[in-house]
Structure 1
């Protein structure tokens, strides 16, 4: 009963509260001149304070220009203010108040904005044929009304003003012209955008015709349209030919556009083609683009070798077959594969370059079945019809009849001896391949030696060689690497040169097209890969290196894919030039701690720094951020030139000037810039920071940076202003250069171009030569005069001139100067809109309106505060 009584009392109070909950004041209709201020008000009464919001055209208004005050107990009032009313502020306004789930609304009010006319339809560009009449449209509204429109064509007024909306009929023209319209009412004049009337002409030839994707018998072409002739392109015509410039052997294809892409089918594998394209609009067709040549990829042969025969003698078994026709080969013949089955079990497959084979020990092939197939780089084709080798074909019939018992005895003895001999040979040469021994040509020709290939495995079925099309790479990456893919058969791996977090580097020998052998280094990804993304991450490094051409940046030779048995995905291998002296960090350590230490002069060390700076300047000019620059990732070639290498963490910047790391990965903490540690933001300036650390490594002959500081403590160490200390035998000017790389403000660090100039000057001073002038460092980014710079330099004490205010530079933002505790200020000027002209007759009345069109200094300051600059 007590609970029921309490509930009744509560409901009664709630009913009383909601009945007393009402608006005592609603907003009123306003007609405001554009640019003037406006204010709307609402008041609400109730027992408890409600939540009041302003609504405009059915949506809540989120604005700081609102006021909420208590008029008296149980009575509240709210105001919504607009400092400078514009056309977009016109509309329906009201208040809503909510209390205990009950929402009430005030009466609505309308704001009508009066001012210069507002365009609702501005003139648009027009394309037309010569001599064909056309119309132009323009519409503007007030208030106040009416609004009249005046047309201007070629800078000449066209007739008298007409009511809005207005249509201007223009007779045919023969050349391009400009036009615009003016809208006028009692408040002033507005000027529309300037439009252009273009004359339709023939389009220009397509550009950038290229192959997007290539398969065995089809190719995907893409192109960029040229100038369209001021008319939409309707279709494009594709012509194909076997050789550039000759008549097409394939029918023309006319395809609708867009998209500017087309798949061409019915092509032959491993064949050369040329393509050119023209496009047409309603005027006519463009010229053809230039011929673009391409070659379709190889494929597996479509037919088996024919006429397989054998000849069995006492010394050997000879096999012969007809070569596969070129039209059925679909590629370049790599070998013929001979398969034989004995007692129902498949034996080791044999490979031969010619269309014949000679096998010793004929007795072991009795009652065996032989088949042969042709193989290209892609794989092997179908098998020929099986041929059975019978023992009675080895000897003449009279000998069999007269010496039956002798033949049987000798056959058994020979079989036992051959079996023993084969057992010994197989044991001693278990790792040898028939691929090489079967390729011995007759006569005095040189023997061709081949390395055992994974795709021809003697212990099981053949593993098909991996291609870029079979491992799920992105189309863009696959197209970049297609022309640098090297068959695994051409590589012979040697001993390991080094091992790291992401894989190992091995010495190897690469067989070239002219049969010469080149010593290379092969970077092999760890074998515990589980997805195509792991492979893609490794091969992206090769994609970056593909087009590098600089003496201080390591160049790519090619990429290869190592196929593994019982594994779906291959291991990617990046083939690089062999560097005689290895990585720079190991070389520096060996000079100090090796079995035979050696002296490195300061001149040599500065030359190492200069080589790295030149390589990094080249990379930055190609919009590449390295992100892992360190002595361990720089290589020394035979003539002691340093090459920047290991682009595993590199990123290409396609827009802007920074890259933001989006996922957690293992990164070299002691080489990473302060802003990168804080925000995962990487720029060329963060590479400059790492270059300063690499300079320190070089000067200390391979010491670990920040000795005694743990990786987890690096950020706190740097944020306090601490940096790497000057090495004991480091010149002051060299330390000043590396110290300038560690400014907490990225823009205050030198560019690689400036670092090259500074290191060049140090190297010139170390080298013997004529007297040198004093080196002056000039800040090219500042705008101060020489006299002002001299006065500022004179005002600093000798210590402050270098380290008193470290890393200061011109053009710094306010928040950047906070890092360096340097006070500064900046001013902003008001803006304006040039398109609105106020009628002189309304100058007094519209004074505040004109001021409202511009931007006040306070608003400009607020706008500036909202600007965020990612460093």
Structure 2
């Protein structure tokens, strides 16, 4: 039995090596590497005429344009995978795959373990408690290396000694709100968690606004915006309603569960005045009531017909009279009484009278006619009275009169039936008059009296209406701004997905225009699992900014549509934008360098990209708009290869002064943020100029990640020392000087966008259409020991030796501003304050740390807005 098993194994080996004709002679080895150091894996295969080895990581291919092969002997090849600066995201399982004649073989796997500062897997979360109530806080961080210890800080004071991770501390209770965080330490360093807040639960505030969304005859739809929740979830709201008739009548209170903060209140009377107010409860108790809001229910058609219809007939005239309809039955203001009569089985023209009587001349012509009357309000006419048959009192003897009366009654009943059938047909064929039209509309030869209504109400139950901006719960200002760009969902046909992110997705779509033509558009669709008005309002703010933009280099809003979802209170907003054939600029640049079919972009084309962005940003700055997130990923390329500035999710309009101060710490892409913005959260047009300089660097490197090898948490310290992005290979000196001028530490010394346009136009004009005859020579600017001149091409001269001729100097600088230009240990004091740097492991994981043409397309592309550092 053992002998047979051995032969099977031998046959399998022969099958692998002999039949397939190739096998791996070397597999990668396990590595444990310190974060930031270089890692290298090797792999060798024998039996291939040409090398075709692919590196895999966690089941995905690793793309590289600088993979090299070493010939060990004939048909025996070796290759390596190198990571210049290992990061946490590089940890994982690696192996090689080779393919020949449709057969794929894999090497043995190896694992890269990255040692670095601790990585938080559980961070402290905000808590809300009652005063003095005990609570627990949790924090957990992992290496490698292990062990990891955790230290807690509450209210700026260390709480206890270091303890092993994971850590849970019990706090006996507090009476005031405090901040807290935890520090994690291992052999490689210290990481600091997010800062949480302990909130004290209090009573909620009154609802800020109560709106009457829709009023019908017997119900009203109310919507309200809750006030401050008191750091506790709102559980229910109480609605009080008063009927303001001759005396105020208080209706039973309505208790409704929330959310949603919208309710339909039924059981109301039509054509009545009401007042409503609302309060909401959390677990602490009820809020104060909102202010009273008044509304009036619309009129309805009368509920009863006029009674006691009688007549008097003479040779000269016919007189009709009837009892007035009671006010409670009228359900509105009486507009007229409508008299309908029938003679010989044919309906005659209807008559309208203001009073409860009618005098018709020529009594003889009404002999054997039947009459009915109904009351009418602006909402329409009510039911008809019982028909009466008109006959003269002296037409025959009494006994004959009585017989004819019965005959007349039977005839009248027959005629009334026919009239009723006819009226039923007419009612179905003619729509009810609306509040904005005339009360009675001509039909056929029937003569009507017309009058205009002050308000309208449709008795018919309408079809389910399309969603409106009123149903989103957004602010009045935003709703008003977007009202005239709202597009019906019926005009949109969604196609395949173009991209996906945190906010939702971008889909190709077709929009039907007024002339029945179809336009190809792009639609940003918010995530369907987002159900709060706040998230929806944040999405629509970008659309509001774009509405007023009219510039060829700024993407323009086409419209906003609302996708109604079954069994969901809030619709999904969809922002409709022009279709951009070539996508975002960052991906386009990456594909030109690292795509499956790389292509060449001329220097003229790259400078044209820069010019398009500068013109778009100059237009935005003229509109007092600060973009705050300018980068190649937020610029789009249309079918004409024109760049349009896009993605205004972080934009702010400034109304006074020339700066905007970030109110709270935000998640922002630090590698594009200006030095002063990192220091104190101040954003200006000059900070957009800084980001523009970084974007030029992205364009010249065809989409590389800025500051390769520099951690996100180290960016501020890197910049304050005077370091800047290095001159890319094949980048002309004049273009580098333009981008470098954007990074002056003194904001007012940076060029304006108009000046940048002028400079770039000069570069573009001077470019030769043909290739350069002589190669450009470049100087390695990373000279050891250089300080002030690092990255600037100057030596560390003193201020006296330079005469303040240091980079970025400009006219009108203050003395304290010159401190920013000096690279010394006192540079941080020029800003003032003590800075604590907090390393965000998630941000570090997003930083690919790759540089040069050997970068990884997937790794370059994944560095987006997640690349953040938080400064306190």
Q: TM-score, normalised by structure 1?
A: 0.50
Bigger relative contact order, structure 1 or 2, given CA contacts below 8 A and separation 6+? Answer: 2
Q: TM-score, normalised by structure 2?
A: 0.50
